[in-house]
Every structure is written in structure tokens, then in C-alpha cells.
Structure 1
């Protein structure tokens, strides 16, 4: 017997918001590890340092600005798109407020690895329900349609530009940035399949999961 339709929607909403919260938590833990951030968070941190905003607020501001770029690209946001902008930044700041930075190298290394793994879980959770891509993924797919360039090339150019700008503004890039780029693709692909709705009978892996950063093959949530 199939589950009632309402219970299916409830499950998808729990996945969406649980995933977005965990994404913000993972970003905060990666920051606390102190080995470098994901490219968009490098930009968020750089902006925060120059404006006095918290990094979570900077993330929300950048997400909203990117969402405005959807207008000329004729992209349509969904519930997941708007929620992505707000929830991740709020969860990031909330986690930072209660999580101290470890000083021991032997605490920071596993914290970094855990943060990246948690990001993979979060990615699978919030994208599999298909409530709409995050603002940065929508920018990527919109530019892909407008320019005719491959998704991988478009995302590579965006990520490199974002990382370079964030680094120039004082954002933290390092070995953690590299490990994130290398590891997040396989992790997200695995968890996208793991969290796909069972009634589809096949992995519910969105098109944006095919290629999104210079190295990885999964969507970026922020």
C-alpha cells in the first residue's frame, strides 16, 4: 500500500529543511576547523570582514543578490530556492554562536572531515525532494541555457571567480577548500540517491548534480 500523499509531502518538507539546516551547520563546522572554506563561503567570509556583517548574514545577502540575477535569465524560483537563501545563513550563524573553535590539530582535522561528510548528507537531503534549486545552481543552469556552454564549464568559471574574489577580500581558502571540492561530489551523489523518494523507482538525481564545480559533480547549496 502506498503512503498517503500528505505524508509524502511532509517527508519532502522535512528533508528540505533538515538538509538546509545541516548545510548551515556543516559550513560553520568547516569554518571552525580553520583549514579553509568552500568557494562561496570564502566569498561570504570576505564580505563579512569588510562590512561588519556576520558570515551568515553575508550568505543571505549574497544569495538574495544572486537570485536577482535570475530575472534576466528567466529562471523561476521555488520554495527550496527561497528557503535556501534564508535557512542556511541562519543555521550557519546559530551554529557559530554555540560552537567554539578547537585549538588542537587533532581535533580540527576530524572536524573538517566531519563537516565535509555532513555537507554531503545535507546536499542529498535538501535537493532530492525537488523543491527548486538553490540560487547559485539556478545561476549556473540559467547561464548554461543562455550561453550554450557546458554546465561544467559555466560552473567552473563561476566558482573560480567567486573563490578569487573571496580570497582577495580576505576569505579563508586552504586545504579544506581543496578537500571540499574533491570530496563533496561523490558524497552528494551517494546521498542524493540514498534520500530519493522511493516511489519513483529510480534515483532522483537532479540535472544540476551532474557537474557544478571545477572538481566535484554535485550542487552547491549556498
Structure 2
């Protein structure tokens, strides 16, 4: 129980920090990351918030990931819902500042990516599954036999194009984010000595199977007593 509470606390801390990092990159107003361009495009087209767009896209991706054979964790579901939820709280209540000059905005953009790196350590380190977008990348890599780099670039170019056509904001910051986010996250992992390969994830089907075993044992025990 103690281990489970630590995992859940770590997961939610990571999801909240991830939302903070995303909103910081949005409020930098230098251009959105590819997925956020897509979310903003959907937001404008459908008349919903960016957080709601993020949740909706995440929900669809979870279904696609499942159909492609990817195992889902509670962290996958939490990522789908709570990042978008936290984003709306932060943005609708103006909890993250907006700066005028391009230098502080650039600083906010870079700091936001660093926060995303720290958030990734928390939520991935909880060992409760990856996010639905990462799951799509892994699933398509397995199915197509293409490199992770090719699949990731293909996905991000696709959502960036779709988001732009829907009215999402592309700017200089979009290029910076696309080129720098991977390096900054990797630097953050090295800085905190975090190794993704060492994480043993627990998936939803693991808990379902455990519950079945417990119910079966309780049933057998009850039959023996009778």
C-alpha cells in the first residue's frame, strides 16, 4: 500500500509539472510544439479549451494504442485526462505569467522544456505506463519496422501540419521546441541520473489478473470452509 501511494503521488506530481511545462511553452508565445499546435487547432475549430482538446486526442490515441497491441497503464489513462485538466486550470486562471519582451519569453520557453523533462522523470519513474502519444510512437515502430526517429518525426510533422491547417500557431518557438526538446529532456535525465531502461512498469492488465487470482483464491477458500 505504501509503495502504491508513493507511485500515485509521483505520477500526479509528474502530470502537474508536465502541464506547467506545456503552459509555459504556450505562454512564451513564440510558437507551439507540434502536438500543441494540433490541440490549439482543434480548440479553435471545435470551440473547446486546449486542455479538452488534449484529453480528447489522448482518449482516441489510447484506443488506437490498444488496437495496435500496446499495454496500457494507469499512468497512461492519468496522462490522457489529468494533463489536459491541469492545463485548463493553469490557463483559465492565468496562473502562469505572460511576458512582453522576446528574451524573457525565450527564457520561459526553454525553462518550460526543462520542466517537462523533470516532469517526465516523475511520471515515467512512477512505473505506471507511458503516455498515449509515446505509446503510439512505440506501437507504430513495432508494426512498421521503421526507426523511432522516423516514426516520431512522421507523427510530429503530421500533427503539426494538421494543427496548422486548423489554425494552430506556428512560430520560431515551434522550430526551437522541435529541435531542442529531445536534447533538453535527455540532459535532464542525465542531470538527475534517471535511466528509463531501469523502470519496471505495472500495467492495467497486471492488476486485473491479480484481482482475478485473489477472487479465485477467496472463492476456493469459501468452498473449502463449506
Normalising by the residue count of structure 2, what TM-score does the alignment of the two structures yield?
Answer: 0.79
User: CA 1:189–1:104 in structure 2 vs 1: closer, same or farther (change >3 Å)?
Assistant: closer
Shift of 1:7: 4.2
| Structure-2 separation of matches of 1:76 and 1:126 | 17
**Residue 50 of structure 2 is aligned to residue 16 of structure 1:** no
On the 8 A contact 2:16/2:83 being kept in 1, the answer is yes
Structure-2 separation of matches of 1:195 and 1:93: 32
Pairing partner for 2:184 from 187, 212, 216: 187
- The structural deviation recorded for 1:48 is 0.3
Separation (CA, whole Å) in 2 of partners of 1:109 and 1:154: 28
CA distance, structure 2, for counterparts of residue 188 and residue 91 of structure 1: 21
| Residue equivalent to 1:204 | 196
Bigger shift: residues 34-43 or 181-190? 181-190
2:143 to 141, 146, 157: 146
Contact (CA 8 Å) 2:113, 2:185: kept in 1 or not? Answer: no
Counting matched residue pairs gives 196
1:60 counterpart = 2:60: no
Cα separation, 2, equivalents of 1:135 and 1:83: 10
Note the C-alpha offset of 1:178: 1.9
1:90 counterpart residue number? 85
Matched, 1:69 2:49: no
Q: Which residue of 2 aligns with 1:115?
A: 112
Alignment correspondent of 2:173: 176
Larger Rg: 2
- Residues 48 and 54 of structure 1 are in contact (CA less than 8 Å); yes or no, is this contact kept in structure 2? yes
Q: Per residue, is there more helix in 1 or in 2?
A: 2
SS in 1 for 2:157: helix
Gaps of 5+ in 2: 200-226
Distance apart, 1:79 and its partner CA: 0.6
Pair 1:168–1:58, CA change in 2 (3 A): same
Residue 160 (structure 1) aligns with: 157
TM-score of the aligned structures, taking structure 1 as reference length: 0.80
What do residues 157-177 of structure 1 show as CA deviations (whole Å, max 9, x unaligned)? Answer: 111101111111111122212
SS of residue in 1 equivalent to 2:196: coil
Partner of 1:217: none
CA distance in 1, matches of 2:122, 2:189: 7
| C-alpha RMSD of matched pairs (Å) | 2.0
Where structure 1 has 5 or more consecutive residues not aligned to the other structure, the ranges are 1-5, 197-202, 208-222
